[in-house]
Amino acid sequence: MLPIFGPSLIALLPQKPPFVLISTLETVSENHCVATFTFSETHVMCCKGQLSVGGLIENIAQTCAAKAGYESFLANQKIPLGFIGDVKDFICSRLPLAGEQLKTEITIENKIFDVSIIVGRVFVKEEEIASCRMKIFVEPEKEEMKVSDKA
């Protein structure tokens, strides 16, 4: 089933165009995921031919979201909604240029209840251009109340 791209990938993400910052979901394992992203100068997170710092951070988060969406799809569950809770140790050696293909790897270091602590790394070819640690909070699925529960 992998790689996943196009409408099938968009279906796995809570984000929708024009705010999608991954192009292909390449690999998924229990604690690891790899995605690619190629963008044009017209992308909403591109400024003066370069992806913004916010775009890099969102690219890492969306790689994590694609992993969660893929696993939810396989389990026949609703695609979860996640939020960036914290970004630490962000390092960026350079901003990627429009047309360059990014390869983003996330590794889940720890998962406690609805919070995942991940390390994200972004590469252009073999060059690591950005990395960070991130906390991702996943909104728990709300149970519907039954009429008898309201009494």
Could you give the domains of the chain?
4-149 (3.10.129.10)
Model confidence over 70-87: pLDDT tens digits?
A: 999 999 999 999 999 999
Enter the pTM of the model: 0.92
Percent helix, strand, coil in the chain, to 5, is 20, 45, 35
> Could you tell me if 148 and 113 are in contact, meaning their C-beta atoms sit under 8 angstroms apart?
no
Residue by residue, DSSP assigns 110-127 as EEETTEEEEEEEEEETTE
Q: How far apart are CA 61 and CA 117, in angstroms?
A: 11
Model confidence over 47-106: pLDDT tens digits?
A: 999 999 999 999 999 999 999 999 999 999 999 999 999 999 999 999 999 999 999 999
Model confidence over 112-127: pLDDT tens digits?
A: 999 999 999 999 999 9
Q: How far apart are CA 31 and CA 128, in angstroms?
A: 20
